[in-house]
Amino acid sequence: MHKLMTSSRAGAGNIDGGLEFNGWYLYDSSYKWTPGKSWWWVHDDTYKISLGRIPGYKVVEEYTFSHWMLPYTGRIVVQKRFLKPVEPLDNNRPE
């Protein structure tokens, strides 16, 4: 994530990195969840960090790691959104 934040000019607020990342960098006890985004203090999910590919995002970087409990090689995928985010449905808006 350090590489993403320094080389791609993405700030912590542009990354959905789950509890571990967003909790560390963006924790706010008065945070209001936005429908359509993860609830882990996500402001803008231009970038997502995950264990697999996500539709609507392209892979920017991939890292492998060794899992010791059940031996296998896993991967962490850094992805950037290439589709516009879907606006949450506003049922109170007149047609």
Q: What is the pTM of this model?
A: 0.77
pLDDT of residue 90: 56
Reported as a single tens digit per residue, the pLDDT across 42-51 is 989 999 999 9
Reported as a single tens digit per residue, the pLDDT across 12-66 is 999 999 999 999 999 999 998 888 888 889 989 999 999 999 999 999 999 999 9
22: phi then psi, degrees, rounded to nearest 5:
-65, -35
DSSP 84: P
H/E/C letters for each residue in 22-78?
HHHHHCCCCCCCCCCCCCCCCCCCCEEEECCCCCCEEEEEEEEEEECCCCEEEEEEE
